[in-house]
Amino acid sequence: MKPAKRAMEIEYAIRDVVLPARELEKKGVEILKLNIGDPDKFDFDTPEHMKKAVIEEMEKFNGYGDSEGLLELREAIVEREKKKNNLDISVDDIVVTNGVSESIQMLFGALLEPGDEILVPGPTYPPYIALSKFFGATPVPYRTIEEENWAPDLEDMRKKITEKTKAIAVINPNNPTGALYDRKTLEEIGNIVAENDILLISDEIYDMITYEGKHLSPSFIKDIPLVIFNGISKVYLSPGWRVGWTIFRDCDGKLSEIKEAYLKQARVRICASILAQKGAAAALNGPQDHIKNLVKKLRERRDYIYKRLNEIDGISTQKPGGAFYIFPKIEGDDKKFVLDVLNKAHVLFVHGSGFCPVYGKGHFRSVFLPPLKTIEKAMDALEKYMKIR
């Protein structure tokens, strides 16, 4: 029996590189893993009040929930958006999902037809590429400018819009570069969206993890249709809980049919985990103290890895403004580089071409989530490799 071509062509570089690492681990080799954005694999942990809420809910209720999501959580999202972004929405504008990955999948399933195009950052989070192709559409990467801290090239964005373009996706702070976009950039993107009567998709999963400035949502742009993705995996240190959400900010009813197509998919998959949603509601309604400590620790680790990488001959990098990724530049084949570093230095990164074959090549992505001693050990091994490669 032959599998569906659309599934066999899926690539996900972040996890694909784990396979050769596992083979080394089977031989007893210790691998320093700087490949995946999971804070809980290091010295971070889900806040206790979130865990307590899940446990208490487990003792009370374990049945199905509404396909749109737990009302308590959607009310908390409404309050969060009002407080943080001055965005007026209702619970009916929100659908809770099994992580932002499902948010992307269901939106693309509702939005994209075979032959459509969607503009995505170059480089970008891989599911934006993989899921566009899965639904028969073409992901078109727009250039981001490395020398300008990976800011979007707005002229390139304009040039790449065609009559087939359905949306522009923005990830801010960005994965994999850590870029943080300013108000002027977002305003210009909003103008491009308005001029072409298309949708703006804003992925804001790292919104509270910023270092020199604050995250700004494009929701301040009032006259464009906007879909926002967010969730608890990063800021609230619970990636395994798989709780994300989609916000529809409509404009003149332009999103009504897209939203209904999205909800049809939500009903088919029944609901996101009720237990995890209860914990997510506790996250948004409860103490936020951990965020300050999270950012403080990450800033120190960012500064260290940024300094070390730029001191290694043959490697250069920009300083991330948010998230917990850094995207250094190297010479030559980036996938071969990552596999060589894995096999010879026993440090695991992700090849940049896995985030975009055009604008990601010649780079690799590293997280700076581990404690400083682990990062130091990894950088020492990388530096030694670069001297003898």
Long-range contacts (CB closer than 8 Å, 24 or more residues apart) made by 28-32: 29/346, 30/346, 31/342, 31/346, 31/347, 31/348, 32/346, 32/347, 32/348, 32/370, 32/374, 32/377, 32/378, 32/381
Quick one: average pLDDT of 279-284? 98
pLDDT band at residue 307 under the 50/70/90 scheme? very high
pTM of the model: 0.96
Residue 87 has phi, psi (to 5 degrees) of -100, 125
Write the pLDDT tens digit of every residue in 54-106.
999 999 999 999 999 999 999 999 999 999 999 999 999 999 999 999 999 99
pLDDT band at residue 15 under the 50/70/90 scheme? confident
Token pair 């480089």: residue: 123
Half-sphere CA count of 363, side-chain side, radius 13 A: 27
* pLDDT at residue number 251: 80
The whole-angstrom separation of Cα 156 and Cα 64 is 46
Write the pLDDT tens digit of every residue in 343-366.
999 999 999 999 999 999 999 999
Query: Quick one: CATH architecture of 5-45+289-388?
Result: Alpha-Beta Complex (3.90)
Does position 253 have pLDDT exceeding 80, yes or no? yes
Type of residue found at 8? M
The whole-angstrom separation of Cα 210 and Cα 4 is 41
* pLDDT at residue number 266: 98
pLDDT band at residue 9 under the 50/70/90 scheme? confident
The four Cα atoms 259, 279, 366, 302 give a dihedral, to 10 degrees, of 110
Does position 203 have pLDDT exceeding 90, yes or no? yes
> How distant, in Å, are the alpha carbons of 38, 128, 209, 242, 321 from that of 214?
22, 25, 9, 25, 9
Q: Considering only residues 17 and 15, tell me which one the structure prediction assigns the higher pLDDT.
A: 17
pLDDT band at residue 126 under the 50/70/90 scheme? very high
Indicate the domain borders of the chain: 5-45+289-388, 48-285
What is the gyration radius of the CA atoms in the chain, in angstroms? Answer: 21
Does position 12 have pLDDT exceeding 80, yes or no? no
Quick one: average pLDDT of 318-346? 97
Quick one: average pLDDT of 9-23? 84
Query: Quick one: CATH architecture of 48-285?
Result: 3-Layer(aba) Sandwich (3.40)
